[in-house]
C-alpha cells in the first residue's frame, strides 16, 4: 500500500482511492496471486486427505497407571519377555496387549542400557 499513500495524519496513512484501486488491480493480475491460490488449494487438499485418514484410523488410547511410569525391565508384567533379537508379548485381549506394550515402552525408556544389553546378547 506504500505506493498509494498521499499523506499522513498522525499515525494514520491516507491513500488516494484511485491509486489504491489501480495498485490492487495490478497485484491481482500478477503471478503472486496465482501462486497463492495454488498454494491454498494444495494445502486444502492435503488437509482434507489427512483429516480423512485420521477419521478412518482413530487413535487408540489407554489409561496408563502411575505404576508404569517408573517401570524397569526387571519388573515387566508376566507375558512380556525381551531376549536376543526377540520381544515376546502374550495377551488375552486387545486392551491387555496395549497395556503390556505400554509397559514395555516405558520400561525401555527408563532402562535403555539394560534393554540394549538384553536385546543384543
Give the DSSP letter string of 33-55: HHHHHHHHHHHHHHHHHHHHHHH
- pLDDT, one tens digit per residue, over 46-76 is 999 999 988 887 776 666 677 788 889 999 9
Percent of residues, the chain, with pLDDT higher than 90: 43
Which residues, including other chains, have CB under 8 Å from residue 103's CB and lie 6 or more apart? 68, 71, 76, 77, 80
The predicted model scores a pTM of: 0.48
Amino acid at each position: 500500500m506504500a505506493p498509494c499513500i498521499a499523506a499522513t495524519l498522525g499515525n494514520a496513512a491516507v491513500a488516494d482511492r484511485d491509486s489504491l484501486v489501480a495498485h490492487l488491480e495490478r497485484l491481482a493480475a500478477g503471478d503472486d496471486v496465482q501462486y497463492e491460490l495454488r498454494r491454498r488449494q494444495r494445502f486444502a487438499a492435503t488437509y482434507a486427505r489427512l483429516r480423512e485418514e485420521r477419521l478412518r484410523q482413530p487413535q487408540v488410547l489407554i489409561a496408563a497407571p502411575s505404576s508404569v511410569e517408573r517401570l524397569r525391565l526387571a519388573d515387566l508384567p508376566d507375558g512380556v519377555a525381551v531376549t536376543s533379537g526377540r520381544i515376546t508379548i502374550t495377551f488375552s485381549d486387545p486392551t491387555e496387549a496395549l497395556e503390556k506394550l505400554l509397559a514395555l515402552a516405558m520400561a525401555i525408556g527408563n532402562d535403555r542400557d539394560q534393554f540394549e544389553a538384553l536385546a543384543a546378547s
